[in-house]
Structures are given as structure tokens and as C-alpha cells.
Amino acid sequence: MSSELATATPAIRRRFPPVAELAICSLALVVIGGILLASYAPRRPPLGGPAALAVISAALLLTSAYLLSRLQMFAWERFFLVFRWALLAYVISAGMIGFAFIHDHTRGAPLALLVVMLVIFALDVPLTIAFTVARYSSPPHSAD
């Protein structure tokens, strides 16, 4: 997309790669993995299914981040502004969920897997929010 075209096209019609869609799929997978882990509490859960979901979820998140990083005509300043604050909020949320599991004596591999899932969760949501905000914002050089 050329600079002139991006500036002239209304924000609502601009086309972007499926960054938010991939992040939402990634979020859905960690939520399913979290449900699998939580459904076994207080017993030790089997880790195969949740671990596979976490790996696919991480791959989707990385793909989403890669597609995002290739965007040129994008309101990066606004993206990072929103991302920072949303990240703070969701790190607190994830920290609280992690605290609850640690309090309930989750240890070892299940805890490690849970932490990985919480990290993905804490990145997925801010990424989706910040991308949704920034995609409708004008490119930095245009009149806003």
C-alpha cells in the first residue's frame, strides 16, 4: 500500500492482515487450555493437551506479531501507547490468576505451563486492543 493511497483511503476501508483474528484464536486456545488445567484441580492435570494448545497458541501469537511488524502505514505511536497500558492491566490480571493457582499448591510442570499460558494471555489481549485502536487511526504523517 503506497503512502498516498493509505492516506486517501478512509480508515474503515483500509485492509490489514489478520492480526487481531490470529490473536483472538490464540486467546481462545489458551482459554481452552486453562479450562482443561482448571477442570482437574486440585488433582494434577494431564499436560499433553494443554501443552499442545499452548504451543499452537504461541505460534499464532508469533505469526500475528510478525504480520503486525511488517505493517508500514500504521499508527505505531498510538499502538504502543494503548499496548503499554493494556499490558499493565492484563499483567495484573494474569498475576492474580497465577497467584490463585500458586496459593492452591500448583507446582512444577503444571505451574510452568500455566505461566506460559498466562504470558500468552497477557500479550494477546493488549495486542488485540492496541491493533483495533491503531488500525482505525490515521497513519502518523497524515492529518488527524
Partner 1 sequence: MTDTGRVQAGNVAAAPGPPPSAQIQVVPLRGLPVVAAVVVFVIVSIAGNWLWALTFCHVVGGALWTAIDLFVGLIIGPILGRLSIPARAEFAARFMPKMVLLMPTLVLMTLAAGFQLALKEGNLAPASPNHAWLIVSYCVVGVMAVIALGVLEPANIAVLVEMRKSRPDGAVIAVLMRRFLYTAGITGLMQVATLIIMTRVATQ
Residues that bind partner 1 (CB under 8 A): 10-12, 20, 23-24, 27-28, 31-32, 34-35, 38-39, 41-43, 78, 82, 85-86, 89, 92-93, 96-97, 99-100, 103-104, 124-125, 128-129, 131-133, 136-137, 144
Q: Which three cell numbers stand for residue 117?
A: 499460558
Q: How far is the CB of 45 from partner 1 (least distance, A)?
A: 12
We find the least distance from the C-beta atom of residue 112 to partner 1, in angstroms, to be 20
Compare residues 35 and 59 and give the one whose CB is closer to partner 1. Answer: 35
What is the nearest approach in angstroms of partner 1 to the Cβ of residue 87? 13
Nearer to partner 1, 74 or 131 (CB): 131
